[in-house]
């Protein structure tokens, strides 16, 4: 692995996004707007936004980075740039880390943007330490990126990749603790929910809301990211059968 | 020590089977530094597959392919084989210069290499254009430019002149010639016989088998044809 090649790859990915301002805008503004919409819709239920809002700060980056990564890496596979890179001195680790850093950075920008607006304009009550919530958001973005890399190996077209979105994301949204706390799920579902990556992100946010800070939850999240990145890298094959 | 120590390619009884189909059937040939080789054959004959096997991105079922004394796909070969795929494998959402700069960086070449390569493929005026906004032939040149980064000792070019006008084609063939003269081994696939006759050596593939290996003149002689297109047709259809 080489830091130079990793950072070159990061820069290349960010340059690609820079030439696609619409995608970049959607990436940064949609979560911001959704959060505002949520705050507005909960105006008549005091305290509701304070309870759901911060959890979403962990959920948005996961979803958005998952989608963007799966489409952009799928394109690398179909256009043939990935095969070209495999004839060059670029390792899988350089490639995966390049993606992780690029989208991790975006996740960070996104979460700062969403939280600043949430705390100021949307009236989210100050809970915990904002930078800790941003750290979790960054991790959630990395998690999304890692799963996106893995998905791009399974999907053969961009159309399929988009179809995978509801299959991968929606069940997690239902079970991760946003709709109903995981502890109140039927026991079989609870077992499933506990191992879902999105649950790990929400669980890392939960203690922050009550101003607590569990290193354990954070460590679990990091372990998920590492495992998902390794899984994502293992789906990349240098040689075609 | 045998003579293979000096050959760039040493392919022996190479077989490739993909999803049950035998795509390449016992191909053997050698090539030395400085050779310019034309790889010919009808559509589907296995040209791209042979090139991808040499590059190490296509799994080999049987036999062997050695490049500069290393097994195809070896780590030590990465960056020494310039590859232009049949479809322009470049980033459509980057500019010409950004594309070439990225690959130049991956190959640890200095910044002056970017300008040199853009000049060789005559794309300097297009430096700041997004590749998506270029014509098919211009895109192909970006892809070729990437293959030339770092002046690798081996060039594997899959139909590099498709869709280009005669003048540009001529210029590119001069470039390939110069590269071979400077010691690189250049293998170029093509459908166009006249063009391939510029190579000192031709390999003719049909249905995954090597039908002919020799100079253009001996191809004419062997097929008793008056022109290259006729020779191609005769050899391909001849002994069916
Ligand atoms: N994934 C695959 N599985 C099975 N067969 C394949 C696969 N990909 C390609 N082939 C077959 O392998 C054969 C050789 O293909 P290849 O692309 O090497 O031909 P080619 O000579 O480069 O053709 P063209 O001139 O059209 O580019 C074709 O018959 C093709 O259908
Ligand atoms: Mg081909």
Q: Nearest-CA residue of chain B relative to A13?
A: B94
Each residue of B104-148: pLDDT tens digit? 999 999 999 999 999 998 999 999 999 999 998 899 999 999 999
Q: Whose CA is nearest to atom 28 of ligand 1?
A: B44
Give the highest mean pLDDT range of A40-49, A155-164, B152-161: B152-161
Atom of ligand 1 nearest to the CA of B46: 18
Q: Percentage of residues in chain A with pLDDT exceeding 90?
A: 26
Between vectors from CA A174 to CA A197 and to CA A71, what angle results, nearest 5°? 55
Which ligand number lies closest to the CA of residue B84? Answer: 2
Phi and psi at residue B79, to the nearest 5°: 95, -10
* A-chain residues near B98 (CB < 8 A): 12, 15
Residue B157's beta-bridge partner residues? B84, B188
- Go through chain B and tell me how many residues it has: 240
Q: First-to-last CA distance in chain A?
A: 25
Residue A88: which of B31, B75, B221, B69 has the closest Cα? B75
Structure-token pair, residue B206: 């049909």
**Rounded to a whole number, what is the largest CA-CA distance in chain B?**
53
Give the lowest-confidence range in A63-72, A120-129, A138-147. Answer: A120-129
Q: Which residues of A touch B90 (CB under 8 A)?
A: 79, 81
Task: Answer whether residue B3 shows pLDDT above 50.
Answer: no
pLDDT-derived band at A128 (thresholds 50, 70, 90) equals: low
B102 touches A at CB < 8 Å: yes
β-partners of residue B130 are: B95
pTM for this prediction: 0.90
Tokens representing B92?
A: 């459509």
Q: pLDDT band for position A161 (50/70/90)?
A: confident
Specify the residue for token string 């190996």: A153
* CA separation for the pair A107, A102 (Å, rounded): 9
The terminus-to-terminus CA distance of chain B in angstroms comes to: 41
Q: How confident is the model at residue A221 (pLDDT cuts 50, 70, 90)?
A: confident
pLDDT at B239: 58
Tell me how far apart the alpha carbons of residues B50 and A229 are, in angstroms, rounded to a whole number: 33
pLDDT (tens digit per residue) in B170-192 = 888 999 999 999 999 999 998 77
A105-109, B122-126, B192-196, range with the lowest pLDDT: B192-196
Chain A residues with CB under 8 Å of B73 CB are 238-239
Q: A58-83: per-residue pLDDT in tens?
A: 898 889 889 888 888 888 988 999 99
The lowest-confidence range among A84-88, A152-156, B140-144, B208-212 is A152-156
For ligand 1, atom 8, which residue shows the shortest CA distance? B18
**Centroid of ligand 1 to alpha carbon of A110 (angstroms):** 44
Q: Which ligand is nearest to the CA of B20?
A: 1
Q: How far is B57 from chain A (nearest CA, A)?
A: 4
């Amino acid at each position: 692995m080489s830091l130079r090649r990793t950072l070159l790859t990061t820069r290349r990915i960010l340059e690609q996004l820079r030439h696609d301002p619409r995608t970049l805008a959607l990436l940064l503004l949609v979560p911001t707007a959704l959060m505002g919409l949520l705050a507005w819709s909960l105006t008549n239920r005091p305290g509701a936004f304070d309870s759901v809002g911060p959890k979403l700060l962990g959920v948005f980056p996961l979803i958005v980075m998952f989608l963007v990564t799966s489409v952009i890496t799928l394109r690398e596979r179909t256009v043939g740039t990935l095969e070209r890179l495999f004839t060059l001195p670029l390792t899988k680790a350089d490639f995966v880390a390049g993606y992780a850093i690029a989208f991790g950075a975006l996740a960070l920008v996104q979460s700062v943007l969403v939280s600043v607006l949430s705390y100021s304009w949307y009236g989210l009550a100050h809970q915990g330490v904002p930078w800790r919530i941003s750290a979790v958001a960054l991790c959630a973005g990395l998690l999304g990126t890692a799963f996106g890399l893995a998905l791009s190996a399974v999907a053969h077209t961009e159309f399929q990749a988009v179809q995978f979105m509801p299959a991968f994301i929606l069940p997690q949204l239902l079970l991760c603790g946003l709709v109903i706390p995981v502890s109140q799920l039927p026991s079989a579902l609870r077992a499933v929910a506990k191992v879902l990556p999105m649950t790990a992100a929400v669980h890392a946010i939960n203690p922050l809301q009550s101003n607590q800070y569990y290193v354990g939850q954070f460590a679990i999240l990091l372990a998920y990211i590492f495992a998902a990145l390794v899984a994502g890298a293992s789906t990349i094959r240098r040689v075609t059968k | 020590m045998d003579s293979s120590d000096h050959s760039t390619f040493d392919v022996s009884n190479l077989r490739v089977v993909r999803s049950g189909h035998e795509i390449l059937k016992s191909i053997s040939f050698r090539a030395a530094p400085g050779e310019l080789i034309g790889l010919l054959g009808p559509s589907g004959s296995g040209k791209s597959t042979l090139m991808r096997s040499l590059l190490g991105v296509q799994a080999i079922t049987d036999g062997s392919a050695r490049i500069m004394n290393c097994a195809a796909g070896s780590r030590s070969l990465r960056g020494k084989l310039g590859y232009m795929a049949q479809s322009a494998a470049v980033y459509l959402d980057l500019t010409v210069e950004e594309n070439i700069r990225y690959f130049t960086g991956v190959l640890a070449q200095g910044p002056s290499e970017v300008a040199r390569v853009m000049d060789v493929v005559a794309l300097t005026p297009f430096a700041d254009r997004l590749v998506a906004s270029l014509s098919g032939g211009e895109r192909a040149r970006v892809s070729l430019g990437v293959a030339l980064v770092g002046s690798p000792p081996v060039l594997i070019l899959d139909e590099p002149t498709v869709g280009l006008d005669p003048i540009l084609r001529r210029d590119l063939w001069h470039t390939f010639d110069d590269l071979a003269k400077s010691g690189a081994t250049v293998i170029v696939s093509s459908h166009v016989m006249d063009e391939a006759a510029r190579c000192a050596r031709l390999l003719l593939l049909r249905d995954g088998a090597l039908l002919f290996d020799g100079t253009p003149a001996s191809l004419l002689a062997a097929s008793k044809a008056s022109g290259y297109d006729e020779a191609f047709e005769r050899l391909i259809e001849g002994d069916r």
